[in-house]
Amino acid sequence: MMIDAHTHVGGPDRYDYARQSPTELVETMDSLGVEKALILPFNLAKPGSCYSNANSDTASEVRDHPDRLLGCALIDPNSHEAAVRELERAVTELDLRGVKLLAVDQRFSLSSPVVRELVIKAAALHVPIVVDMGRTLSLPSAVGNLAMQVPEATIIVEHVSGPTFLEAFERHDNLYLGTTGMFGVPKLGEAYRRLGAARLLTGSDAPYIPMRLELRKFDRVPGLRDGDKAKILGENMRGLLGL
């Protein structure tokens, strides 16, 4: 099963005006043989309290395409206890399958006690939590500390950067590397050699990156076995989401 683990539906985004309809996404998936996609809200101009409107919209889009789309909530830790309540609503009432935190856009630190509480709640609800890595508020050390503090959590790390980011993954086996935007074949190959296939997840970040490019880049990774490629392109994500 091929699963795109990182896409966006809705919009327009309040910063870059990007948008994508569920129909457009499913048509792209059909053209490439992708069975399912995890969808995240855009950063909307009026997302509602703690992104409640955006999360409800995401759930509605999933209901319109239940066999193809899986929803991921967007949560703002700056809302404190309301953020924890929205996370629980998103999972238990809206049936969303993951949680995304945007440290740079929402301007919070991954070292925040509220973030730790959200990660604990996500673990208790058996859904993965998605964070970005590589900027001041979400350095590899901060991601690693979060993984160490909540070892029962499943943390998917996207948009990785920096020369030493793989060390955090080697130290904490509850970190999963989203390969979104990693187009340097040597770095992809290094991640495969050092972490193995079981902790790599492919996601296009569509519509920002064409899904076709994300899928094809694995054809160029030296020594990537077919079975391992199948894991990266969907089987790993299927396991994490309990499909």
* pLDDT mean for each 10 residues of the chain (243 residues): 96 92 97 97 87 96 97 92 96 97 76 92 97 74 92 94 83 95 82 95 95 92 94 97 93
* Structure-block tokens of residue 149: 């503090």
Model pLDDT, residue 105: 67
The answer to whether 189 and 221 are in contact (CB under 8 A) is: yes
pLDDT of residue 204: 95
Nearest to 45 by CA among 72, 20, 21, 15: 15
pLDDT at 227: 96
Say what the pLDDT of residue 137 is.
Answer: 62
Instruction: Report the 10 Å Cβ neighbour count for 117.
Output: 17
* CA R_g for the chain: 17
Specify the pTM: 0.94
Confidence at residue 50, expressed as pLDDT on a 0 to 100 scale: 86
Q: φ, ψ for residue 108 (rounded to 5)?
A: -135, 165
- Give just the sign of the alpha carbon dihedral 235, 1, 239, 114: positive
CA–CA separation, 154 vs 175, rounded Å?
6
pLDDT at 5 (0 to 100): 97
pLDDT for res 183: 73
**186 closest CA partner among 139, 229, 221:** 221
Do residues 203 and 169 lie in contact, with contact meaning Cβ atoms separated by under 8 Å?
Answer: no
Burial degree of 186 (CB within 10 A; 0-12, 13-18, 19+): exposed
pLDDT, residue 186, reads: 80
Separation between Cα atoms, residue 102 and residue 88, nearest integer Å: 18
Q: Which amino acid is at 93?
A: E
Q: What separation, in Å, do the N-terminal and C-terminal C-alpha atoms of the chain show? A: 10
